[in-house]
Amino acid sequence: MCKWFSPQVAVEVIQGCITIMGHLGYSTEAPYVQRMLDVMGYQIGDGTAEAQMLTIVREMLGREFLPYT
């Protein structure tokens, strides 16, 4: 679950930082854009969020409770 949850929280936090900083948050002078790209890379490398959640549900409830498989 941490593998799915951590990048989700990181994206929300970084988006909040960019919003608070305004125009400076999108410039190359601040490190926020690079952090966002790093976190997006983690998300791509770990697989899609939907695939991660499907795996979590399958482990928690079992295959018979999934709507499709």
> Candidates 1.20.140.10, 3.90.1170.50, 1.20.1260.10, 3.40.50.2300; correct CATH number of 2-61?
1.20.140.10
pLDDT at 13: 93
Report DSSP state, residue 65.
Answer: G
Write out pLDDT tens, residues 25-39: 888 788 888 888 888
Residue type, 60: M
The reported pTM is 0.64
Place of tokens 């400076």: 24
Q: What's the whole-number mean pLDDT along residues 1-29? A: 85
Collapsing DSSP to helix, strand or coil, 16 comes out as: helix
On the question of pLDDT at 50 being above 80, the answer is: no
16 — pLDDT class (breaks 50, 70, 90) = very high
- For the chain, the structural domain boundaries read 2-61
